[in-house]
Amino acid sequence: MNRQAEAGQSREGLLRSYNNGESIPMRKSLEDAYRSESDSDIDATEYLDRDSINEPPLKSASSAYAPGMQFANLKRTCARRSKCLLIVVAVLVIFWSILAGGGFFLYKKKPMDGQSPPWYPTPPGGTVSQWAESYKKAEALVAKMTLPEKVNITTGTGWSMGLAVGNTGPAVNVGFPGLALQDGPLGLRFADNATAFPAGITVGATWNKELMYLRGKAHGKEARLKGINVLLGPCVGPLGRMPAGGRNWEGFGADPVLQGIAASQTIKGIQEEGVIATIKHFIGNEQEHFRQSWEWGLPNAMSSNIDDRTLHEMYGWPFADAVKAGVASVMCSYQMLNNSYSCGNSKLMNGILKDELGFQGFVQSDWLAQRSGVASALAGLDMSMPGDGLRWAAGNSLWGGELSKAVLNGSLPVSRLNDMVTRVVASWYQMGQDDKTKFDGEGPNFSSWTNDEMGVINPGSPDDKDKKVVNKFINVQGTGDDAHSIIARQVATEGTVLVKNTDNMLPLSKDGWPDDTHGMNMRIGIFGEDSGAGKGPNTCPDRGCNQGTLGSGWGSGAVEFPYLITPAAALKVAFNKDRVYVTDFPTNTPPFKASPEILKDQDVCIVFVNSDSGEGYMATDGIHGDRNDLFLQKGGDALVRSVADGCGDGKGSTIVVIHSVGPVVVDKWIDHPSIKAVIMANLPGQESGNAIADILTGVVNPSGKLPYTVGKSLEDYGPGGKVLYIPNGVVPQQNFDEGLYIDYRHFDKFGVVPTFPFGFGLSYTKFDYSNLLVTKVREKSILPSPRPAGIDPPKFDDKIPDPKEALLPSGFRKLSKYVYPYITKLSEIKTGKYPYPEGYDVTQAPSQAGGDEGGNPDLWNTYANVSVDITNTGDVAGKEIVQLYISFDDVLFGVGAKVDFPIKVLRGFEKVLLEKGEMQTVHFNLTRRDMSYWDVQRQNWVMPTEGTITIRIGASSRDLRLTGFY
């Protein structure tokens, strides 16, 4: 099977729409998965071969909404009808002009200058002791490399040029292999026989640090056993500013601390298996609309405009946690940050990431997020992915041979190239990938482009005809007690959140009625398409349609399900068939009028409904990445009301289970008297049915808590919570004017009462909080200790090499579209004065907030210990999530007196298992960073020293039971 036609439309951003009628199967055991090239949409970067100023645009901004087959039919219809073509072009021009706020007429107008200050040169890697040995080895290896070898390591070979979604060339002479990079954050994209773990949002809902780590470790092990060097996850950007954001589900929740802790635990697990983890997307990629140039018909991506304090305290916070955890790769995002593309933003990559946060690994671009050549290297980009440049699968790289030319003509300093290469090689050593017992150097044992055993290595090139074994079908899911399904099931179960349980409706007994007074078996009816298998979990490419039970969102962060246990199947097994009669109706339009008995004859009705979203290159059911609203989809609200009204002829009890990518507004039916219980089950992955059956029947006591706030309407989240669906200019501008106030912080500030607050979740038992004790460890001080000096980075000969070194070897057979590091003749090297960016000649002083991985070491020192006693006062064992929030409301004098602080912010959590009647003492360590704010004048973290910092402990953001002071 040839996956290339579809995959070329895939990774991070081409235009593709799929509706139910066009659902295309994608992986193991599915046939004819892909359309031909001629039926695909026009390439989103087609403009690069045209005069985009003087010629009419090829696509309107709305073309992303049209199914590819319909567009192809339109092209064929109009191909020989000039009048039709003229009308279509005129309509597109008018529509585009209106939609883009006059943008078509502004194409001749340059985007505004970037608002991020310049920060040059790139700080070299190898300045912290934790990486010293790896950099020493890397220095010795890089010193022996030729220019083409160095360029090979920093440039991808091109889309579908290699078996992984991203591939680099080797440095053959020194024995350094090409690297394989593969999505994604919840499993191995395009891989067979691998686990479909619960999504990040479900992991966040567990609030369980151990499970975060174990899931990461299992994920890393599967990647290693499949021959992957670099795993493209975890994801902490988007943070969740907009509850309808399409990719929020890939992250861990709408709070920087929850995201940061979950990410750091995941990274530790992945990298303990020797696989390089990638924290993404750095930074400000909070919505799918307009995230990428030309994806929506506009020549530039949108700009996320974020102030300095907000960037540090909110969107950058979890990235600092990731760097502190030793993450070896960071992926820069598509969109602009403060009107400078993230992958070319020197302040972001050089100043904040590499200087202030002390990042020692390498920065890779999101796929085609690189928008410049030399400039992006100077700004701190270390690896171009997938290597193609501005257009998919064309082989016209911004680096590759162009990078060789830039070094040879003096535009790019040799020292910058050496640092780029050394960062990649040091990361390889840091993970122990030179250990042949773990990495054989032969690359992936599966193909991202075909399901067949035999195939070509480089299907992106028509020249590659050499078929080999590309799929070895190695099962990496583990067996017995080491089966990764065990971890997947536990995460799915603990990530299930019980938000309503009137009259202790749950748990249901497996044996039905507690006595024989009813005279007949209990009758349970299961309703909703989300309860069943639909057409199968892998029916649509990258899970790009909402059918059957929802286990994952869609896009590059999705995977092929090895199996998917449906709720209906699991519940039928869970109940005692001799005492409970279970029927299921896996549709959102059951025949209630034609067959009213299917509803009237039930004692208990369980309704499964959902809400889906995903990455912007795909659309389904009118949803173009970002959700259109926060309501249930596919008629879910109407189904819930119908079932609640008619269950047991009005006398039955209804349970609602929601699988969703994020918050869902439930106020249309939440107070219905027949709805006794409501469960937010998030995105549970392959063990979906088993997890919900365990919760409903009491095999597992629910312990999940909401990683976001559930409001009564989208308006409850404030102006900053709304996706920009219509462009407000040729470069869409999204101003993060709300600053620190998203999700529960916004609800607190403006006194908005949520339906269910952040951190909320019910249990089948009860917990008591007592004996809060705050112990001072260090005295307060306004600023952290001075920045430590660090160690010396590697040193190289920075002399420009002999140009002949980069010439294409004689007799070398090139594959078309493959990205090579070579030049074909010496005359290609053009000398002249390179237009270096403004501020390039100004050397920046190191930030006093830096000095080690994660920033100044003093930021991570403990300044206060907190302890609290938790007692299980209920009748069954259960797990409680103890949450710690801090407030600065008593800081009335000194440096923090005039600073605007949120009412409270999460700063820690611990999950503890307690047997009936058991008491345990839970401990927290509060760091300087936890109790500081970012001062934009001092450009450092400042701790208020006058007054007291308030510490609150409780069961949710709106259920804080004990208060202490530091």
Residues 6+ apart with CB under 8 A from 579: 511, 512, 513, 521, 522
DSSP 8-state code for residue 556: T
Would you state the pLDDT for residue 86? Answer: 57
Cα 145 to Cα 821: distance, rounded to the nearest angstrom: 13
Would you state the pLDDT for residue 21? Answer: 33
Residue 488 tokens read as 């997947």
Residues 6+ apart with CB under 8 A from 436: none
Cα 469 to Cα 453: distance, rounded to the nearest angstrom: 6
Q: Where are the alpha helices (DSSP H) in 564-666?
A: 567-574, 597-600, 636-646
Q: Can you say whether the dihedral through the CA atoms of 592, 595, 598, 599 is positive or negative?
A: positive
Specify the residue for token string 């912080």.
Answer: 745
Residue 349 tokens read as 């990559």
Would you state the pLDDT for residue 70? Answer: 38
DSSP 8-state code for residue 655: E
Residue 377 tokens read as 């290297």
Q: What is the pLDDT of residues 80-109, one digit of tens each?
A: 444 455 555 555 555 555 444 444 444 444
Would you state the pLDDT for residue 80? Answer: 43
Cα 711 to Cα 714: distance, rounded to the nearest angstrom: 7
Cα 380 to Cα 420: distance, rounded to the nearest angstrom: 8
Kindly report the pTM of this predicted structure: 0.90
Distances (CA, A) of 435 to 135, 140, 351, 360, 890: 16, 17, 34, 21, 54
Dihedral-angle region of residue 170 (phi above 0 means left; psi in -120 to 50 means alpha; beta otherwise): beta
Cα 438 to Cα 451: distance, rounded to the nearest angstrom: 25
Would you state the pLDDT for residue 360? Answer: 98
Specify the residue for token string 């929802």.
Answer: 550
Supply φ then ψ for residue 774, to 5 degrees. Answer: -110, 125
Which residues does the chain have with pLDDT short of 70?
1-114
In degrees, rounded to 5, the angle at the alpha carbon of residue 924 between the alpha carbons of residues 923 and 929 is 170
Q: What 3 state SS string does 822-866 have?
A: CECCHHHCCCCCCCCCCCCCCECCCCCCCCCCCCCHHHHCEEEEE
Active site members: 366
Q: What is the pLDDT of residues 703-742, one digit of tens each?
A: 999 999 999 999 999 999 999 999 999 999 999 999 999 9
Residues 6+ apart with CB under 8 A from 514: none
Residues 6+ apart with CB under 8 A from 569: 533, 689
Strands 933-935 and 940-942: antiparallel
